[in-house]
């Protein structure tokens, strides 16, 4: 068993990230960073066609030369996607010196963080890691989990996010509010969403909120203050899901 790792989700919006390497693996890493809103610089003599297209669109910057010390200046995060242990070691040394987070693909000794296998549905993200021991196992586990997490969960996440301010007002007790959130998630609202019946899901959630709210402080029609009150029945609230 390896040393424990600390799982976390990073906010990369607007942050500079450097990818050393330009092949298919590097391409996948670049696309993931762009999805997170990062500003990406690629360091590589040769790059894939997709990366070339991104350069042409002005989406990424490519330095067409081998990696050299100093390339990580100002970076928040870096990825070494090369087959060269010497290059990975040099990138690792600079990353450690500068305090830059580094993932070296298939090179665990040169990683300060491990990239998990990801499944996304809207704002719902599931990440699976084996602490670098078996990426293939992480992929298969992620695939199994993904089969049980459809787009209805993205819709539910958006609904609950929009409801948070109103629920905090209507159910001020922290413990009661925590129970309410679990009651909603465990209710048949998810099944209604799976069937495409957003209106029924909204009604079920409203009933649960009414039950949790203190009647002496709130009127019978207080549910009208919920964020969905102005949304016509049948309106889809689900954002497009991002494929894993």
- 127-154 pLDDT, tens per residue? 999 988 898 999 999 999 999 999 999 9
Band of pLDDT at residue 3, cut at 50, 70 and 90 = low
Residues of the chain with pLDDT > 70, as a percent, come to 86
Beta strand segments in the chain, E? 16-20, 39-43, 61-63, 77-80, 101-104, 117-121, 124-128
The H or E element containing residue 203 is helix 198-212
pLDDT exceeds cutoff 50 at 4: yes
Q: Tokens for 70, please give them.
A: 């100093």
Place of tokens 């019946």: 197
- What's the CA gap between 17 and 90, in Å, rounded? 17
Q: What are phi and psi of 40, to 5 degrees?
A: -110, 130
Q: Which residues contact 36 (CB under 8 A, 6 or more apart)?
A: 10, 11, 12, 13
If you write DSSP's letter for every residue of 114-182 in order, what string do you get? Answer: -PPEEEEETTEEEEE--TTS-HHHHHHHHHHHHTT--HHHHHHHHHHHHHHHHHHHH---HHHHHHHHH
What pLDDT shows up at residue 214? Answer: 63
* Choice among 60-69, 91-100, 191-200, 225-234 with the minimum mean pLDDT: 225-234
Find out whether 15 and 36 touch, Cβ atoms under 8 Å.
no
What pLDDT shows up at residue 131? Answer: 86
- What's the CA gap between 238 and 123, in Å, rounded? 10
| Secondary structure of residue 18 in the 3-state scheme | strand
Provide the CA 137 distance to its chain's centre, in angstroms.
20
Q: State the average pLDDT over residues 35-43.
A: 97
Band of pLDDT at residue 9, cut at 50, 70 and 90 = very high
Q: State the average pLDDT over residues 19-23.
A: 97
Q: State the average pLDDT over residues 36-53.
A: 98
- Kindly report the pTM of this predicted structure: 0.75
What pLDDT shows up at residue 132? Answer: 84
pLDDT exceeds cutoff 60 at 183: yes
- What's the CA gap between 211 and 64, in Å, rounded? 62
Domains in the chain: ranges and CATH: 16-115 (3.40.50.720), 151-230 (no CATH)
pLDDT exceeds cutoff 90 at 155: yes
| CA-CA-CA-CA dihedral for 68, 86, 28, 37, to nearest 10 | -40
- 46-77 pLDDT, tens per residue? 999 999 999 999 999 999 999 999 999 999 99
Find out whether 103 and 113 touch, Cβ atoms under 8 Å.
yes
What pLDDT shows up at residue 233? Answer: 43
Average pLDDT, the chain: 88
- 201-243 pLDDT, tens per residue? 999 999 999 999 965 444 444 444 455 444 444 444 544 444 4
What pLDDT shows up at residue 1? Answer: 53
């Amino acid at each position: 068993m390896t040393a424990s790792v600390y799982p976390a989700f990073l906010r990369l919006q607007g942050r500079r990230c450097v990818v050393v390497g330009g092949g298919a693996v590097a391409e996948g890493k670049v696309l993931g960073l762009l999805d997170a809103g990062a500003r990406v610089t690629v360091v590589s003599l040769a790059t894939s066609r997709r990366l070339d297209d991104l350069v042409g669109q002005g989406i990424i910057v490519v330095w067409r030369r081998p990696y050299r010390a100093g390339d990580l200046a100002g970076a928040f995060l870096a990825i070494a996607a090369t087959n060269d242990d010497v290059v990975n070691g040099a990138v690792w040394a600079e990353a450690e010196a500068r305090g830059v987070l580094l993932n070296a693909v298939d090179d665990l000794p040169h990683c300060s963080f491990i990239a998990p296998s990801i499944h996304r549905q809207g704002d719902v993200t599931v990440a699976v890691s084996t602490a670098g021991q078996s990426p293939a196992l992480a992929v298969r586990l992620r695939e199994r989990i993904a089969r049980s997490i459809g787009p209805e969960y993205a819709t539910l996440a958006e609904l609950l996010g929009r409801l948070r301010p109103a629920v905090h007002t209507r159910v001020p007790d922290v413990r009661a509010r925590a129970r309410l959130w679990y009651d909603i998630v465990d209710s048949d609202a998810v099944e209604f969403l799976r069937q495409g019946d957003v209106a029924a899901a909204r009604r079920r959630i409203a009933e649960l909120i009414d039950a949790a709210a203190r009647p002496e402080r709130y009127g019978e029609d207080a549910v009208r203050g919920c964020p969905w009150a102005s949304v016509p029945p049948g309106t889809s609230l689900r954002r497009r899901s991002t494929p894993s």
